[in-house]
Amino acid sequence: MAKEVKKPAKKRAAAAGRTRQLTKKQRKSKARQQVRQRQPLPGSFRLTWQVLATLKRYWKTLGGIVLVYLFLNIVFASGISNISSNFDTIKSDLQTTGGHGLWHAAGGFGSLVATSGAGSSATGSALQSVLFILESLVIIWALRHLLSGQPVTVKLAFYKSMAPLIPFLLVIAVIIIQLLPVTIGGLVLSVVSTSIFTSSALATIFTAVVFGLLAAWSIYMVSASVFGLYIVTLPDMQPRQALRSARDLVRFRRLAVIRKVFFMPLFVLAVMAVIIVPLILYASSVVPAAFYVLSMLAILFVHTYLYSLYRGLIA
């Protein structure tokens, strides 16, 4: 009788422990279906509107954070003198007749916006980088708590936001490594296109194609890793875990994410050009100060935009 009872028990245990393993294709299809069931990402213009609404709602706290950053930047790493000389060059290019001067002016303005008016000295640039990292942590911490309905003060944001500094730096290091392909490709393209002895139309075209492939590779990697900067600031979050979670967030939605991320610098550049270019032509004395303030606000806008997109990915 004992044997008759034990045998069905073993069969039931074996049947209970037997699970059907999904193939790689089936797992991928299941993951794609799960992504499709999520809330769709907001469009670029809608996302920008959300960012502006957030900045308007919490302007006191976020504005105070930007003011502290502006003060520290001016005191410890001011690059205003460098900005003034660059804008003099841009103004002379704008006043040059023909499309050549306009092209040079646009390139110089885009480069200046991309570097946020970095100081001309190595020490000034290094201090600006340090302040940018610290300010990023403060803004991310403040946005996370403000958007979750928690009261935040400027002093509290600076006091409590520095805990994930080391993991944040490690994620930045990974992003820098991921940008190496496009950096190396850009250097090679510049050397080939400017060399007198080795440049030719065929070599330039081939190098441009290689540069495009390397740039696409870097963009593909960074489009996920950039959200690791926001995930790694969560409590008890490891850099590797944050980067893995970031890759899962953009899975099967990477192209949509890349389009929205690319829209952000274009919007910032357009807004700054609309404000700064008339000042260059008609009120050049206030251009350095105006550009400096706009650069600080642009950093706040970029983090708010990316953090809002991150919240849309996890919704």
**Are 168 and 293 in a shared domain?**
no
Domain that holds residue 229: 163-251
Four-point Cα dihedral 33, 39, 41, 45, nearest 10: 150
**Are 269 and 287 in a shared domain?**
yes
Residue 33 falls inside a structural domain: no
Report whether 261 contacts 276 (CB < 8 A).
no
- What pLDDT does residue 214 have? 93
- What pLDDT does residue 303 have? 96
Residue 93 falls inside a structural domain: yes
Number of domains comprising the chain:
2
Residue 298 falls inside a structural domain: yes
Q: Which pLDDT tens digits describe the chain residue by residue (315 residues)? A: 444 444 455 555 445 555 567 675 666 665 666 666 677 888 899 999 999 999 999 999 999 999 999 888 888 766 555 565 566 666 666 666 555 555 555 666 566 666 655 555 667 778 888 999 999 999 999 999 999 999 899 999 999 999 999 999 999 999 999 999 999 988 888 877 777 555 577 777 888 888 999 999 999 999 999 999 999 999 989 999 999 999 999 988 999 999 999 999 999 988 988 888 888 778 777 877 888 888 889 999 999 999 999 999 987
- pTM here is 0.82
- Report the distance separating Cα 224 and Cα 257, nearest Å: 9
**Are 157 and 51 in a shared domain?**
yes
